[in-house]
């Protein structure tokens, strides 16, 4: 193991330690040896957090909603969102979004056969909304459009 003074930056030192960790995991020849290594390295809380992250990823693959996942694991939607973003796997995201009909029927909605589909994100919605006039006649007419 190299001394910390041999590295130019902290990031370089952290990269070296991560690579050393991965090499030691690869060197473990049996499941028993790997289990022993990880038990010595990780605390109980860290193990629970890893299991929860893996469970969230699994439930997202099964097309569970944030609410369903939160009820099962007692995790907030923000935590679920952070885990989903951290994995960066678009296949999981596509699988999750394909559950909703307005993503499936986007082409039909563009042709005008389906009315009132929600936009892909809140910014599209706010950009396309017809805001009412603040005062005067007709300030409530926009409600007739919906």
At 109, list the tokens: 């909605």
The reported pLDDT for the residue numbered 30 is: 85
Quick one: angle between helices 44-61 and 77-87, nearest 10? 80
The reported pLDDT for the residue numbered 130 is: 57
Phi-psi region of 97 (alpha: psi -120 to 50; beta: other; left: phi over 0): alpha
Q: Rg of the chain over CA atoms, in angstroms?
A: 25
Contact 109, 117 (CB under 8 A): yes
At 102, list the tokens: 């307005």
Mean pLDDT estimate for the chain: 74
The domain spans of the chain are 105-146
The reported pLDDT for the residue numbered 6 is: 85
The reported pLDDT for the residue numbered 44 is: 93
The reported pLDDT for the residue numbered 68 is: 92
* Model pLDDT for residues 51-73, shown as the tens digit of each residue: 888 888 888 888 889 999 999 99
* Model pLDDT for residues 76-133, shown as the tens digit of each residue: 999 998 888 887 755 555 555 555 545 455 554 455 444 444 545 555 655 665 555 5
Cα–Cα distance list, 144 to 87, 112, 140 (Å) = 44, 18, 8
Q: What is the mean pLDDT of residues 128-141?
A: 60
pTM for this model (two decimals): 0.53
Q: What is the DSSP letter of 144?
A: G
Q: How confident is the model at residue 32 (pLDDT cuts 50, 70, 90)?
A: confident
User: Which own/partner pairs from 73-82 qualify as long-range (CB within 8 Å, at least 24 positions apart)?
Assistant: 80/56
The reported pLDDT for the residue numbered 139 is: 61
More confident residue, 119 or 13: 13
Q: What angle do CA 4, 50, 1 make, to 5 degrees?
A: 20
The reported pLDDT for the residue numbered 77 is: 92
């Amino acid at each position: 193991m190299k001394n910390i003074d041999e590295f130019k930056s902290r990031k370089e030192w952290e990269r070296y330690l991560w690579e050393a960790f991965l090499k030691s995991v690869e060197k473990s020849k049996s499941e028993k040896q790997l289990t022993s290594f990880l038990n010595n390295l990780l605390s109980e809380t860290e193990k629970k957090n890893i299991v929860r992250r893996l469970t969230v990823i699994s439930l997202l693959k099964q097309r569970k909603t944030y609410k369903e996942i939160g009820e099962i694991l007692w995790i907030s939607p923000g935590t679920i969102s952070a885990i989903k973003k951290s994995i960066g796997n678009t296949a999981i995201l596509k699988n999750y979004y394909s559950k909703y009909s307005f993503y499936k029927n986007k082409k039909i909605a563009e042709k005008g056969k389906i009315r009132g589909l929600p936009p892909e994100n809140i910014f599209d919605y706010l950009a396309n909304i017809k805001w009412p006039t603040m005062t005067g006649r007709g300030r409530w007419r926009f409600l007739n459009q919906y």
